[in-house]
Amino acid sequence: MTELLSLAEAQARVLERARPLEGERVALAAAGGRYVAENARAAVDLPPFPSSAMDGYALRAADTPGRLPVVARIAAGAPATRALGSGEAMGIATGGVVPDGADAVIPVEYVVEYDNEVEVPEAVVQSANVRPRGGDVRAGDV
């Protein structure tokens, strides 16, 4: 008569004989339901530069509240052509590179816009709406 094994004994016997599979390369489209054989590491920081989380104005928090001249406009992903000076603002799109000298971004909805100036009615907190370089992923992270 065959001896019945307990669940624990059956699991132990299976695990004794189990061997890991070797890794293999497959196309991404064929990788569904699989696991990676080794850690995937980030090659670069993401975002790769301090970027704006909002459409608005890059500025220095210490210069707010107040009325500031708008000295440039920064498109998404584009660098500023110069550093931001004290008492200045630069228009910036979501994803735009926050210029050197700026430490915050105020959303366009919270300012009063004039031809070449912007009025910031309330104090802005330092780092507001700025995604720091590597804030999502640092180079080398798993």
Q: pLDDT tens digits for 129-138? A: 999 999 999 9
Q: Which CATH number belongs to the domain containing residue 84 in this structure?
A: 2.170.190.11
Q: Report d(CA 118, CA 68) in Å as an integer.
A: 5
Domains in the chain, number: 1
Looking at residue 1, what is its pLDDT?
A: 65
Note whether residue 95 is domain-resident.
yes
Looking at residue 55, what is its pLDDT?
A: 97
Note whether residue 70 is domain-resident.
yes
Domain range for residue 127?
51-131
Q: How many C-beta neighbours within 10 Å does residue 91 have?
A: 18
Q: pLDDT tens digits for 81-124? A: 999 999 999 999 999 999 999 999 999 999 999 999 999 999 99
Note whether residue 20 is domain-resident.
no
Note whether residue 61 is domain-resident.
yes
Note whether residue 2 is domain-resident.
no
Looking at residue 76, what is its pLDDT?
A: 87
Confidence of residue 71 (pLDDT cuts 50, 70, 90): very high
Note whether residue 28 is domain-resident.
no
Q: pLDDT tens digits for 10-35? A: 999 999 999 988 999 999 999 999 98
User: What is the pTM assigned to this prediction?
Assistant: 0.76
